[in-house]
Structure 1
């Protein structure tokens, strides 16, 4: 049997790391972030020593889970900011909401970024929490405000709908997401807010 090449070993390393990160993200939902390395190893079907080789403690593991989740979310955000250009409309915002939901449904790490943002990244050490909050605000929240054409906190209501409904998929074990319906509900959270403010201004 021929020994593996350097390239083959690197592919195996990347595949294992991705497997560990995916399992860790899902373990976070199941345990509320209280999982340990043994839990991840058992669920991933890997030896404890193998997982420990990559991540000797859960804090490093969660840090990498979030970092990779941020990268995927930022890619989607950047693409939609480019698409929306200087004249975004409600249809583009609806499509963006659907794109987010599809990403979250297929990628627990990406969803975890927004789920933890809703909790102000409370489970992280202070330094990492501060960094995550700034990264979320600058690279995900502000671009979303541009797409939504909102400078107030009405985007928070939209995200609350999206994050909450997607949470049913991860926490309650729902078989799937009604992406069209959830996206429309999220848009209504912004339009209702706008209508309410508009009525107050006229009163």
Structure 2
């Protein structure tokens, strides 16, 4: 038998890790932090020792699963939507257009930026539907990973903030800028981040049963309407 090449061995290693992490996400959704390596091995169809070959303990396994999920979250927002083009369009109208026209322009702009926030929610939900590790990274991130060991939480929390929370907060801030232009930029930024935290926590908590059932795809619009009903979107 011809020995495997270095490239083939690396391909096998990466495939095994993907299988293990995918299984870990499934098991975590079912059992939470009480999952054991043996559970993940069984779900992946691998030997107990095979999983231990890659991960020394379940904390390392869960940490890697969540970290890789957050890394994939970083790519969600690239080219998601064009910049809000309506923010300044009202100023381009002449004064002779009248107050009614200006009012219509402001309403249209407000709808435009709110639609961008709705789309951000849809982007997250679509990602959660196809990537359970990414969902768990977001779901646990809304509680600052308190269920995990402190050193793991300290590693993951800033990545969650930069890759998930701040992109959503930037869309919330666009709305706040339009609706409360008298507020300071710093105040709007703090308020936007706080509202983004509420939005993400609400979406993730409501999506959890659907993710577990595998029915999120068919229930996305209802979840977005829920967010709208809460006044976020």
- When the two structures are superposed, what TM-score results if normalisation uses the length of structure 1? 0.83
Query: How many angstroms apart in 2 are the aligned matches of 1:44 and 1:8?
Result: 21
Greater shift in the superposed pair: 107-116 or 156-165: 156-165
Query: How many angstroms apart in 1 are the aligned matches of 2:69 and 2:6?
Result: 27
Deviation at 1:162, TM superposition (A): 1.6
In structure 1, list runs of 5 or more residues that go unmatched: 193-203
Larger Cα Rg: Structure 1 or Structure 2?
Answer: 2
Deviation at 1:50, TM superposition (A): 0.9
Deviation at 1:4, TM superposition (A): 2.7
After superposition, the Cα gap between the structure-2 partners of 1:94 and 1:14, relative to the gap in structure 1 and judged at 3 Å, is same
User: After the TM superposition, which parts of structure 1 deviate over 6 Å for at least 4 consecutive aligned residues?
Assistant: none
Tell me, yes or no, if structure 1 residue 183 matches structure 2 residue 182: no
Match of 1:97 in 2: 121
After superposition, the Cα gap between the structure-2 partners of 1:113 and 1:50, relative to the gap in structure 1 and judged at 3 Å, is same
In structure 2, list runs of 5 or more residues that go unmatched: 88-111, 177-188
Match of 1:23 in 2: 23
Deviation string 1:80-128 (CA, Å, 9 cap, x unpaired) is 4x73367571112111211110111110111011111122201222122
Deviation string 1:151-201 (CA, Å, 9 cap, x unpaired) is 422223322332122201234x25343112212322332448xxxxxxxxx
Q: How does 1:67-86 map to 2 (within 5 A)?
A: 67-80=67-80, 83-84=82-83
After superposition, the Cα gap between the structure-2 partners of 1:187 and 1:77, relative to the gap in structure 1 and judged at 3 Å, is farther
Match of 2:103 in 1: none
After superposition, the Cα gap between the structure-2 partners of 1:85 and 1:21, relative to the gap in structure 1 and judged at 3 Å, is farther
Tell me, yes or no, if structure 1 residue 137 matches structure 2 residue 136: no
Instruction: Please tell me whether the aligned partners of residues 199 and 232 of structure 2 are also in contact (alpha carbons under 8 angstroms).
Output: no
Query: How many angstroms apart in 1 are the aligned matches of 2:216 and 2:161?
Result: 29
Q: Secondary structure at the match of 1:123?
A: coil
**Over the residues paired in the alignment, what is the CA RMSD in angstroms?**
2.2
